[in-house]
Amino acid sequence: MPRPIVAHIRPDAVHHNLEIVREKAARSRVWAVVKANAYGHGIERIFPGLASADGIALLDLDEAVRVRELGWDKPVLLLEGVFEPADVALVERHRLTVAVHCDAQLDLLIAAKPRRPIDIQLKMNSGMNRLGFRPDAFRAAWERAASAPSIGKITLMTHFANADEGEIDWQLDRFDAATDGIPGERTLSNSAGVLWHPNAHRDWVRPGTILYGASPTGASRHIADVRLRAAMTLTSRIIGVQTLTPEETVGYGRKFTVDRKMRIGVVACGYADGYPRHAPTGTPIAVDGVRTRVVGRVSMDMLTVDLTPCPNAGIGSSVELWGDQVRVDDVAEAAGTIGYELMCALARRVPVEIVPPEAANARPAPLRTGSYGR
């Protein structure tokens, strides 16, 4: 392996996080959301951790077929539905459930002649204003779907705009008023709804990012008491060390100026590996289990770290970019983004190792906080 960077994927962490979801939403069944290739983790890699889910939700027909080929025989949900008549044959062949969010999709399914009815999730736009029938049009859409021989079970669905910020009652009120008296199961809650809005759990919940150990808000402090485990740990090593004197600068653009004698470590990881180029000086990182900081601008293949808190570190020292010791949300928050983006951005060139259960169950050594820890 020419570079020491590697991403460790833990299916057992996904299983553990799924059990946390079951504790939080004990009366609901669970759609495990694996869109975007399981948030960058790889569907095939984390598949063993999904066994206890009641269904798998995703976006692409290709991903749905992959799930079926892995042996999944429980429900599979296409969260954006289908777009072409040819899609219906694949939906029927692989026994998929499809979201329906507009008249065009409803027309497509009504015109189809499948050998058996296709189950749908009829989506309401209760205030997110992306996809879905508006509340005043929802009942008519349901009546059309309910009378169509090509459509089977109808589940009622919506999506929250700001469950991660604490306010969903306005959407719940709209949804409940518009669906009053309409039969069928309900599915409302995303990850934030699962954690913080038990009144929205209903028949099914749809956790995504928390299955992988990341926070719906993008801030790890908000899930500090939830016991989630990181399903991805990105590690590398120090490949170079520079000892600098005051007024010397580091990296492209000379964005960081040394104010005292300082050792700088060069890490084999850059934005071409999926690390955010816009991560500023101060972004947390761990070297030999000690929390320190990124300094200077992130390059394509390398980034630089302050070795002051870890004076014994040198070439070959271990580095955790995110995972067990440095939460992906902490890196994302420093970079002005969310953990979802970092996990999904893991580059194809990064080698991946699947951590076996016995290693996954071993708890990592506690992180030591250096002088720049926060």
Which residue numbers are catalytic?
35, 252
3-state secondary structure of 151: strand
Calculate the CA 150 to chain-centre distance. Answer: 33
Query: What gap in Å lies between CA 100 and CA 109, rounded to an integer?
Result: 9
256-257 vs 249-250, strand pairing mode: antiparallel
Give the list of residues 6+ apart from residue 298 with CB closer than 8 angstroms, or none: 270, 271, 275, 276, 277, 278, 279
Query: 263: left (phi > 0), else alpha (psi -120 to 50), else beta?
Result: beta
Which of 272, 315, 276, 279 is CA-nearest to residue 296?
279
Q: What is the largest CA-CA distance in the chain?
A: 77
290-295 vs 303-306, strand pairing mode: antiparallel
9 strand-pairing partners: 232, 354
Please report which residue ranges of 59-168 form alpha helices under DSSP H: 61-69, 85-93, 103-111, 135-146
Phi, psi values for residue 96, rounded to 5°? -95, 150
Tokens of 243: 């000892």
Contact 94, 77 (CB under 8 A): no
Query: 129: left (phi > 0), else alpha (psi -120 to 50), else beta?
Result: left
Please report which residue ranges of 99-257 form alpha helices under DSSP H: 103-111, 135-146, 169-179, 191-196
Map 325-338 to HEC letters: CCCHHHHHHHCCCC
Which of 71, 21, 23 is CA-nearest to residue 47?
71
Give the list of residues 6+ apart from residue 93 with CB closer than 8 angstroms, or none: none
Residue for token pair 């000892």: 243
